[in-house]
Structure 1
């Protein structure tokens, strides 16, 4: 059996993802359970199994998520978002642009696309309904903005990508910013696509209302202090090169100490299930890699690709896997290790790694508009809670989101085939 452990490990990985999806269970928990069985079959010690748990990554993610949990609980992020949207006054045609930019900006500075995707979907739909605009259009624009800026070096997804890229043998200083900028290009393409599709269906009838920024009030003392704290965190990371997790914990601890929000409420905003998913899958992936499963997967992809078709195939694979799983928790730890082998096979160097990683992430985020994914699910939930849509209206939204997920995924495969992600590298 020892000679087949590479294939067996890959089967364990696929089965874990499939069972998690079909049973609607946390794949991270299943992955740890599968790791115990696989470890025993391969004669791997518990200590070696534990080595797959990335404590640094866990600390970084908890730190950044806790800090922005503070900003979410005391209303800082929501006030900034709504004030930004209201700043256009009666120029309502600018609102989608503002939604996209605010979603992107707030994602970039740390919260990441999951937290901001949830908040901006709620804000976008609420604003759309209050203005008599199409809520689906606004929600898709918001999600395009948050996903398009998701690979910032200080967001959770950006941190995961940097860790996985370095584990694959690449210095993050080489690929972090190029991948970030490539994803912004993808976000711009999504914005344009949604504008073209929904341009003639922007209004839903009735008089178009304008949001009065004066009705939103001003930032309170706690919110101003929170914004100052976030700025301090960014300076600590960028200027003083302090680890983003440690810097976030430091600032969050000070904010909690001076009472800008209740500590328990901020901690409740940390998505512990997502953290368990990410770290649990990493434990299993470490074993799969040790046993040669990643090599099998890489060789399988290489058998159907050429150097020119590699970006398109990687983009498609990212979309397919993301449609049934988490981009950060499953797609990234599963497929980023294969990219290194593909680059090596084609002697592509750093430029090809950047292109393939960009294609993978844009593919993963393309299918994230689908209601089966976290992003699409958040839009559907926001439509139900923020706008109070009926079951019939929610079913209509469901159909729009499926079409959006499939359409953007196919568009992205075409972009990857044309080499759009090779321009920055």
Structure 2
């Protein structure tokens, strides 16, 4: 067996083992890089470590540290309160508020599962109280997280743009963000009308405000009800608790913005302006803002370091380190030639997008983005398919399947579903998520790749 085939099998085993067993994918990737590098490639430890993505490490730590501070000092909760209150009593707008808030959180640096973990308990609490289909609420939260996930200062966006820059491919971070946002916005509009949006528009509502809902354990052991109008495993309106009678409102404590809130908002704005207008490094700028906030308010930032998304840092750094090994031993070029050898660049492009979608439905989207883009580099350098359009199609295809209940985001929605609806929501998300594995690659191929954009 050639060294190139050994690395491909090892990468597949990393994803398979991490999916089936409670072993961290990033740790497995580091171990695979060490074992294959020393045993099969004859590399030293320094050679293996040379593939460690220091730039991505700084970005991941800096951005997630800043978001942890914003969450810890209450800025995130305050923003949610302000935005939800702005809709007044219009129930039909509540799912869209959840979409916008979640998109905003991921756009400014929250890891997608972290943003969903914050908003899902609130959104699903509204779904239970105001008789909103939990599929509608859950999918808009997940789609919102994906919509904001590819901003130039977000985790997904930083990973994709960093990998693209490292491989000297053409890039357009703004177009990537805009394309992902619009795609998820349109997809959410379909979801809205497919899962009861017309009923919400017709229904009169009561004033709603934010009430914190406790996050539930990821066990989701509810027993599905025996009645209801849902089809295909999807909950129907009759399966949800009745809406409170008109005039019944919840207590709203109108807390003013504190000094910490104001400084944090200024810091987030400074990060966006510095990165987007002045071209400052996202990671070091985020670390600078986080450090300044820690000096201004040490008590509120004290626990933030423990809230950094260390599992995500380990994951992406491990995957990229292993992919760097694959590049050194010639696997990337070997695979690229194999894809190019299919004979039809357009067919090869849709196959790559389909692989990304299917694997991401079960494994980590972050890991997929770090692995598949480098694998497609030789294919993209051939110039027969536009690099920017291919990367956009691959990024969208790999992220919209986060609605699968086997992904972290989908599991969080299932866990926070109204009592007795967990199994129905699980089945509904499974149907929807797997349908996206087919629909997203084909749609993005038609929209971005087939027209022949550069």
TM-score (norm 2): 0.84
- Greater CA drift, 198-207 or 269-278: 198-207
Quote how far apart the aligned CAs of 1:229 are. Answer: 1.8
For 2:80 and 2:347, locate their aligned partners in 1 and report how far apart those are by CA, in whole Å.
40
Q: Does 1:405 align with 2:440?
A: no
Q: CA deviation at 1:297?
A: 2.8
Deviations 1:93-152 (A, max 9, x none): 122222222222232223243332222223211232233322331121011011022111
* Partner SS for 1:262: helix
Query: Residue 400 of structure 1 aligns to a residue in which SS?
Result: helix
Partner Cα distance (1:73, 1:421) in 2: 42
Match for residue 198 of structure 1? 195
Query: C-alpha separation between the residues in 1 aligned to 2:237 and 2:256?
Result: 30
Q: CA deviation at 1:48?
A: 0.9
1:125–1:138 contact (8 Å) kept in structure 2:
yes
Q: 1:213 to 1:245 in 2, by over 3 A?
A: farther
The 4+ residue runs of structure 1 with deviation greater than 4 A are 200-203, 208-214, 420-425
CA contact (8 A) 2:368 2:398 kept: yes
Q: 1:236 to 1:261 in 2, by over 3 A?
A: farther
In structure 1, the partner of 2:36 is 38
Within-5 A mapping of 1:111-126 = 111-126=110-125
Higher helix share: 1
What's the offset of the Cα at 1:308? Answer: 2.9
* 1:232 equivalent in alignment to 2:270: yes
Q: Given the alignment of the two structures, is residue 395 of structure 1 paired with residue 423 of structure 2, yes or no?
A: yes
Structure 1 position 207 matched with structure 2 position 246:
no
Counterpart mapping for 1:359-398 below 5 A: 359-383=393-417, 389-390=419-420, 393-398=421-426
Shift of 1:194: 1.1
- 1:341 aligns with 378
Q: CA deviation at 1:287?
A: 0.8
Aligned partners of 2:254 and 2:442: how far apart in 1? 43
Aligned residue pairs: how many?
Answer: 411
Gaps of 5+ in 1: none
Q: 1:101 to 1:421 in 2, by over 3 A?
A: farther
- Counterpart CA distance in 1 for 2:322 and 2:104 is 34
Superposed displacement of residue 211, structure 1: 6.7
Report the CA distance shift for 1:239/1:247 in structure 2 as closer, same or farther (over 3 A). same
Normalised to the residue count of structure 1, the TM-score between the two structures is: 0.89
Tell me if structure 2 keeps the 8 A contact 1:326–1:373: yes
Asked if the contact 1:82–1:123 (Cα under 8 Å) also holds between the matched residues in 2, the reply is no
Greater mean alpha carbon deviation, residues 160-169 or residues 332-341: 332-341
The CA RMSD over aligned residues, in Å, is 2.4
Segments of structure 2 that go 5 or more residues without pairing to the other structure are 200-235
CA distance in 1 between partners of 2:330 and 2:257 (Å): 54
The Cα shift of 1:67 comes to 0.5
Query: SS of the counterpart of 1:242?
Result: coil
Structure 1 residues 141 and 260 mapped into 2: Cα distance closer, same or farther (>3 Å)?
Answer: farther
Q: Measured at CA, do residues 412 and 117 of structure 1 come closer, stay the same or move farther in structure 2, by a change above 3 Å? A: same
- Aligned counterparts of 1:106 and 1:202: Cα–Cα separation in 2: 29
Q: Which moved more, 1:136-145 or 1:207-216?
A: 207-216
Contact in 2 for aligned 1:137/1:198 (Cα 8 Å): yes
